[in-house]
Structure 1
Amino acid sequence: MMPDVSDLLTPDVRRRFLADRASILGVVAFLAAAVAVLVVIVFVSPAVDNPARYNALRRNGRFAEAEIDEISAAITEGSSRSRYWRRSSERVISYRVRYHFTVGGETYHGTHYVSAKDVRVHRIRKGAKFLALYDPQDPSNNVLTTAPVSILKELGKTAQTVESLRRQVYIPRGGVPSWVLLLLYFLFVGALGGAGYWIWRRAKAGRVLKNPAVVPALLTEREAVTTRTRTSGGRYRERLGGYRMRVGFVSHAGVSFELSCYTRRRNEAAALPLGSVVTVIYEEAHPKNFLIYELYGERVVKWSDEELRAKMGGFYDLYRRMRESASVDQARSDEQSPSDNDSRTTPKGADND
């Protein structure tokens, strides 16, 4: 008698199937990674050098007198140990320089990252004044240069123009390279893609449980999937990760399918012999989306020979041949076992020469 699919899909079976096919831990892990990378992007973005923006300000920007408000260490690196095995103070690689300038009676603030070398060479310190380049349309878009304020006052005395000065001024750099931000964006997109993949897998597995259909199937292949890990001694050790199972069945629409699925339920998969009949529950609209009930359920499903002949189609003949072959192999094994035992038995008195 055909089993009722509602009796087979108990809460425990549903939970085991979803955990095997698409664990919620995969979704959580990738979403956590995406959030972590996003936080890093938010903190790193202001410190990224942007050559394209600097070049745009060189072409269309205007000069303003900027005064340094604050200078603090932004990127540091621990120095190596001295010969007395005492660690010296951290070495500053880059400084965060905050400044302000006035345009049209309104004060604007800016932040620029400057290398320690430029800070030392150009004597950038609190209270010092330098020229800043700003966008006339949006003065909040600005950048600090190392040009002294006095050079702007001397333009009228020389043949140099504002346009040539914009091209010649030096814009110090000391921030994070732009490729680092690009790499972070790729990691963020990859983490979102990984989370989306696991959400899709879980939704796909859930469709089997919403629109199920049950049929008998023939287990035709079972392949162990192993992974190699290197031990501390330099040797490799193989670890069984799971099994790839291949089954053949005929859907209620009369279409034959031979499909494979991967499972991490190793003990349950190893207990299913090749050529045995298993119970397949598949999505009614997409039979390629299926599960093997014996991997997750504890109930023993028995199919009568009449049901197998009616529902398995051409797989029933293959099932019979595989059973007959298994019976022949078992009979040969039983015949060889006594002879092997007799050949290993020592006749009584053989050692008493």
Structure 2
Amino acid sequence: MSYRYYLFLYLIQQFNGERTLSAIFHLLRGKKSSQTIQDSFLFHVGPFFHAIDHLDRRVFDRLAAESKQKGWIASVKDSRDQYAPTSEGLLALAHFEKKGSFPSGLSFTENINSESDFWLKIQLVVQTLSELIHRQSAFLPVTRREAVTESVRRFLKNVSMDRCMLADRVFKELHGFLSEIPDEEADIMVSQMSGFGMAGLTVDQLSAALKRDVFECRLLSKSALRRLLHRLAECPEDFPLLCRLQNTSRSTLSATAGKTLRYLNEGLPADAVAAKRNLSPGTIEDHIVEIALKVPGFSIVRYLPQPVDSLIQEAVLRTKTRQLKTIKELLHDRASYFQIRLALARGAAREEEAADGKSRIRTNGD
């Protein structure tokens, strides 16, 4: 059975009918909405956020339709787009779990906002150095994204060594890293590299060549990339050149939430931040929820007094759900939707801290 069903059923089980199928699609694509970001924490599926960033909606819908036809998922609460696994679906998931697992590198999400550009930089540096040492100054670059090409141009300009030596040093840094990670991840990463007289393969092409599900290949590729970013942060002295390609900021906050945080830290109330930034109060509330999830030590007491927090936590225990409407109906006017979202966010953050940042997904051993 195909790996994509394993991934789909696992996420269906985690959401368990409390979110729509679209929520799973947006999670895998890495949609930077407050709802998707919060869901990734609430349902402990953070490693899968942005894990398949080029997922086609038609492919996803076909996967969902096939799972329905197999009797693995069924709609809940008379909803057309909210599904939970059936007993047959749980048996299928258990079967998948005996045969495989998810790559553990997915859990290194601390650089998730910059991982796409960083991967393009790595590919472009390798390609450019390969072409230059073969005396080719004109070639078709793997990307024309301006932020990436400018970063690589500065990198090449500011390194004071000849191109052959630079290529050798970059090779040694990459080789040192690749020798430490699972072979299947290393092979997939290397196979995507382009150079003189050689075009890198796409993940789809690799999937066909390796006869492995493209969903699995994409997760393996993403896992390798996240491992690399994690190693660079952990041991920068071992990667002096590759570290130059990283962004200086490693915050997992979205850029706009980071700007809101700076104003809040200056003591501005939320409504004043909204006015100053010309944003709606609801948008600032979205930012505050994201900050509560991602910034340890951020105090939410001014937005969520302890008595209200306790009421919400009691309601969550009673309803056994994270659906805002259900919780709100039980509490009536004693808590706002914003306060419920904050309480859920803080609860999810505490659970993550209790797990010491370790992934809750079933992963392969290294």
User: Common fold, TM-score beyond 0.5?
Assistant: no
TM-score (norm 1): 0.19
* Structure with the larger RCO, 1 or 2 (CA within 8 Å, 6+ apart): 2
Structure 1 or 2: more helix by fraction? 2
Task: Indicate the structure (1 or 2) with the bigger Cα radius of gyration.
Answer: 1
Structure 1 or 2: more strand by fraction? 1
